[in-house]
Structure 1
């Protein structure tokens, strides 16, 4: 019998082994679900071309990873159902691929299926049938270009992304986050109460209400997407003033919801309202605490009826009133009604506002909010010109009201001294400087000094003992 040298035997066996192995692998490959049936999601991607791979016949290692599967660049891939890489036909065969070229949109390094709808901040984007990515072009409330422009300029304040505003358009910000109606001239021409500074009287360079009246100045609330700053700023100023004027015997956080739901005369709840009407209601009807009547919040597109009023009061004589309903919050029983005296308007000179604030407590101010104010994160705010080069729709403003709590001055790195007011907003504690902001003082920045109101808490001797 012919003796076969061992080496040759190995050589003869090996191709058979490898052919067998290939057949086993190929068998698996033939049973694998074809890519073409599932749709090649990024026809036009670079696969065979990237690796310069094109193989004759069946070559299992002529394969590349493809979106969690494997695709091939060999001729065998091109069967009735195909597991070819997306660019196999045009790159290896020089023919158009046998399926519509694109079944998705490439955007930001990801593939999006056709006709899907996606959100990019406040804009809705769709992947069109021919693979074009199309987005609405609404100006967003959080605008990275504006943030960068403010932070690169020398404006004295820092801008950033407040996450609660992400996904809202600038129009929605103006519509749902402000909510004070500019008062008619009959109100803006209210007699001003002039605070007289004595000759030689000097006001301190800095003052903060919470330092003079510790524990009597309340933290800012969050109006959410309720255009109710008219009720929030009124309740905020009244809470502080009732606490100060009762010498701390009463320290309520007054209920904005009580005003939003019950002050109906010419007021529109979470769709805006007037300061004069809010103060009239606090004087004539009074409101309960925020614990007793908590804020119900409101999403802007709720097309339901406005929440009905759950708190009423009746006169007890001497102008005082008492509640005739239980607290809407069933865990709280104290439904005391708090009232104020008529609101008065201050002169718009900064010294008069400062003296009133220092003697009697925080005051309410109307202000014009512009597109850049939403991005405020800290520093001394003034409206910047960064949107001037952009289309009109990027420049929007609306009327808002806030509580001024103090003042101070700051020296900038370039040696300029900036005088500022400190004020509490009603966009929650995560916005700005823990819910507060500083704004240029003495220049009527954003109209903040043009309409400023004060009020006295209605406090009698019996209140001093009763609480």
Structure 2
């Protein structure tokens, strides 16, 4: 009697369209390169075992998806070219696989081949030939150990992970998130304007610019990975001051991009710049609104050319200027140019800064940013000693500039009273206290009182008319 092979029986018993698929699969199966030739990359995986599959003879549907191909748990898989699932021999036959399992490293339940890599925060880990992981040892900008040490210490502030900083090295943070150059000695020697406090004049214990000038104090912008705090803090202070000094007739958010792209004399755009140069530009050339000339954002690609300047201005007489180009943002027509008067430096006594801030609006301050400042979540910041026991490369700092908006004082649970400044940063609203931070006042913490600038918005009578 004619013996019907098992495979054919299976084929005959299957409905038509499936049988067709099986036929195609059959051809493919004979031609497929053996999975083990490509290296079974997951020798420890559960395939046949997971599905409790072990089929006798040849059964094309006794198959499972495996690494973009198909592996089989039927006895036929071992015949010609092996396309068996990784655990077929072990689970179905109870014998060790006929080839050594792929050499690799385990991480997070996966086997990575030799030279495979994964990222651990800011460090790349590579699987070595000895099946050990080797990871870079760069200090990361977000350092969980440092966060823990700060939060366990009694420092007056809390640390946390700002997700935009995850995966960056500390080096990159210093390089791409700050961007104000220390002023030259001639600028540092700029004479200070002393504000005279009248005898018996008492300043309030707390003050906030946004309470005195509601709707005229602008929210912090985000400089991204552009080392342009020189342009962001300058535009931020000028925006508030133009709004205050025009009594709210003009309330522009001024354009940092206008400064980054057009103020190119001894300035380096997203690679850093000087405050005196930024204020000179605002006085002599002026800038448009952020709406008209939006931030183009610079990722960390330093090879690319800086975006060209898209906005120029010409004199109209009496020192005023007008734009000679349309707004780079084609949806906006208002290309008014805003200017300021010459910048002046305040005395570094906190009372003088307070009086100026209360009378004329927010001021600009230079500050030294240390490795722990990036982790600030809330409270009254002061630089902590948590990195002192670690190698030098964990302690980095660079110069930054911010907008001081007010002051106050707070009594801590242990009875200490801390006096502080409130300031706006330019790392977006998700960082710190809604984009702002508080920092110890009166002791020149992180140099914040060493170089403080004020300026007047250039506002003529015609600007006070109704637009």
- Deviation larger for 446-455 or 27-36: 27-36
2:11 touches 2:19 (CA, 8 Å); kept in 1?
no
Instruction: Summarize the Cα distance change of 1:19–1:399 in structure 2 as closer, same or farther, 3 Å threshold.
Output: closer
Distance in 2 separating the partners of 1:2 and 1:47: 36
The CA deviation at 1:30 is: 14
The CA deviation at 1:129 is: 3.4
3-state secondary structure, aligned to 1:328: coil
1:234 touches 1:275 (CA, 8 Å); kept in 2?
yes
Distance in 2 separating the partners of 1:264 and 1:10: 78
Instruction: Summarize the Cα distance change of 1:201–1:236 in structure 2 as closer, same or farther, 3 Å threshold.
Output: same
- Deviation larger for 131-140 or 103-112: 103-112
Instruction: Summarize the Cα distance change of 1:49–1:219 in structure 2 as closer, same or farther, 3 Å threshold.
Output: closer
- Deviation larger for 264-273 or 74-83: 74-83
Distance in 1 separating the partners of 2:338 and 2:13: 100
1:404 touches 1:422 (CA, 8 Å); kept in 2?
yes
The CA deviation at 1:111 is: 2.1
Distance in 1 separating the partners of 2:451 and 2:124: 39
Instruction: Summarize the Cα distance change of 1:325–1:8 in structure 2 as closer, same or farther, 3 Å threshold.
Output: closer
- Deviation larger for 22-31 or 8-17: 8-17
Distance in 2 separating the partners of 1:459 and 1:143: 47
**Computing the radius of gyration over CA atoms, which structure comes out larger, 1 or 2?**
1
Describe the superposition over 1:184-205 as per-residue Cα deviations: whole angstroms up to 9, x where unpaired.
Answer: 1100110000011111111111
Unaligned runs of 5+ in 2: none
Two-structure CA RMSD over aligned residues (Å): 6.1
Distance in 2 separating the partners of 1:36 and 1:456: 75
The CA deviation at 1:124 is: 1.5
3-state secondary structure, aligned to 2:61: coil
- For 1:239, the equivalent position in structure 2 comes to 239
Describe the superposition over 1:127-184 as per-residue Cα deviations: whole angstroms up to 9, x where unpaired.
Answer: 2333221221111111111111111111111111111111111111100100000001
Describe the superposition over 1:348-369 as per-residue Cα deviations: whole angstroms up to 9, x where unpaired.
Answer: 0111111110010000000000
1:102 touches 1:130 (CA, 8 Å); kept in 2?
no
The CA deviation at 1:76 is: 13
Describe the superposition over 1:11-53 as per-residue Cα deviations: whole angstroms up to 9, x where unpaired.
Answer: 9999999999999999999999998566444557999999999
- Deviation larger for 381-390 or 224-233: 381-390
Unaligned runs of 5+ in 1: none
Instruction: Summarize the Cα distance change of 1:22–1:424 in structure 2 as closer, same or farther, 3 Å threshold.
Output: closer
Distance in 2 separating the partners of 1:317 and 1:20: 86
2:179 touches 2:399 (CA, 8 Å); kept in 1?
yes
TM-score scaled to structure 2, two decimals? Answer: 0.83
Distance in 1 separating the partners of 2:329 and 2:240: 22
- For 1:185, the equivalent position in structure 2 comes to 185
3-state secondary structure, aligned to 1:466: coil
- For 2:399, the equivalent position in structure 1 comes to 399
The CA deviation at 1:389 is: 1.1
The CA deviation at 1:303 is: 1.8
Instruction: Summarize the Cα distance change of 1:61–1:198 in structure 2 as closer, same or farther, 3 Å threshold.
Output: same
Instruction: Summarize the Cα distance change of 1:80–1:410 in structure 2 as closer, same or farther, 3 Å threshold.
Output: farther
Instruction: Summarize the Cα distance change of 1:367–1:82 in structure 2 as closer, same or farther, 3 Å threshold.
Output: same
1:40 touches 1:103 (CA, 8 Å); kept in 2?
no
Describe the superposition over 1:267-305 as per-residue Cα deviations: whole angstroms up to 9, x where unpaired.
Answer: 000000000000000001111111111111111215222
The CA deviation at 1:69 is: 13
- For 1:113, the equivalent position in structure 2 comes to 113
Instruction: Summarize the Cα distance change of 1:465–1:134 in structure 2 as closer, same or farther, 3 Å threshold.
Output: same
Describe the superposition over 1:383-424 as per-residue Cα deviations: whole angstroms up to 9, x where unpaired.
Answer: 111111111111110000000000011111111111110000
1:39 touches 1:103 (CA, 8 Å); kept in 2?
no
Instruction: Summarize the Cα distance change of 1:315–1:13 in structure 2 as closer, same or farther, 3 Å threshold.
Output: closer
Describe the superposition over 1:310-354 as per-residue Cα deviations: whole angstroms up to 9, x where unpaired.
Answer: 111111111111111111111111111111010000000111111
Instruction: Summarize the Cα distance change of 1:401–1:28 in structure 2 as closer, same or farther, 3 Å threshold.
Output: closer
Instruction: Summarize the Cα distance change of 1:409–1:62 in structure 2 as closer, same or farther, 3 Å threshold.
Output: same
1:42 touches 1:106 (CA, 8 Å); kept in 2?
no
Instruction: Summarize the Cα distance change of 1:44–1:270 in structure 2 as closer, same or farther, 3 Å threshold.
Output: same
Distance in 2 separating the partners of 1:265 and 1:2: 95
- For 2:9, the equivalent position in structure 1 comes to 9
TM-score scaled to structure 1, two decimals? Answer: 0.83
